[in-house]
Amino acid sequence: MRLTYVAASVCACLGLAGCAASPYLEGADPRQPPVETTGSITRPAAATPPAATGLPLPQDRPRPASTAPGAAYAPLPASRPVLAAMTSMPAAPAVRRIAADAVQVHSRRFRDAKPINFGASSPSRLAVHGVDVSRWQGDIDWVKLRSQGANFAYIKATDGGDHLDPMFVRNWHAADAAGLRRGAYHFFYWCRSASDQAAWFIRNVPRVQGALPPVIDVEWNGESRCTRRPSRAQVLEKMRVFMDRLEAHYGQRPIIYTAPDFYRDNLRGAFLDHPFWLRAVAQHPSRVYPGRNWVFWQYSGSGLSHGVTGRIDLNVFHGNESAWRAWLARS
């Protein structure tokens, strides 16, 4: 999901990076831990299982009274309820869920401008492929993209606290109409408060049955006007605030998308109770993120497909067709 240099430059010139001029934490010293805390959503002590075994339903997840001793990252005591920031947010009307056992899996027919030989761990050995998109893919022919093997799509919705991807609404509806399972992702901006960003995502992304869990995209962006790099403790706390508020609103545990450098600096051993979507375009995730269970693998940023002009990110689900249908039924 990383912006290309050209894309980032255009974005900066046009002022489309909605978080560009946002404060880090209003009235706070960026060297100090953030004041945002949350503990209203408790979470299981066990790590998230591999996708092939199925993830628990949101309503079935165990909710102990407090985070178990020895957990990788325990939330600080809550200063206010998680739902406080969203009581004024109108809920989108629910739509009928598509039966999971009726989801047809299309075989992968994508090409790659820069193919990598992953050997015995090739993503082609996995059954359920998909894409992630943003405004930089332009006007997508979703029916053609579906026919090429796109079974799911994660669609850029927001970044920061005031930028909405201008293609989000069109992509959101068109992907669904073409029969893809779709979800939305938020590019997290380190110079804006987590609560502002959660409220902005909730304001723009409808709550509908059948949608994939929301995604928080956390990376270091060297081309951003925000040059601050918070400490690991600050990163984890800001992520926790954002994810707790999304989970309270959507009833789904958010997925964490990340890249190798950010993971190395901040996420090793953290958030064992959350599903991960991992970028690994040169080696299998097991070598880049040893010991980390994952649900989605972004294996290429140079995909080619009918229905899209230019390149597109390619992804795959960690499991077979039966595991995919079971995961959809639980998500």
Active site residues: 132, 219
- Measured in residues, the chain has a length of 331
96 CB neighbour count, 10 Å cutoff: 8
d(CA 192, CA 197): 7
Sign of CA pseudo-dihedral 170, 2, 256, 219: negative
CB 70, CB 274: distance < 8 Å: no
Cα–Cα nearest to 257, from 215, 301, 302: 215
CB 186, CB 159: distance < 8 Å: yes
Give per-residue burial for 264-288: e unless 16+ CB within 10 Å, then b.
eebbeebbbbbbbbbbbbeebbeeb
Cα–Cα nearest to 162, from 190, 216, 201: 201
H-helix or E-strand spanning residue 172: helix 168-177
Phi and psi at 265, nearest 5°, equal: -75, -30
Cα–Cα nearest to 312, from 179, 128, 172, 150: 150
Please give the full DSSP string across 8-63, using - where no structure is assigned.
HHHHHHHT--TTTT--SSTTS-TTSPPS----SS---SSPPPPGGG-PPPGGGS--
Cα–Cα nearest to 92, from 249, 289, 252: 249
d(CA 192, CA 24): 5
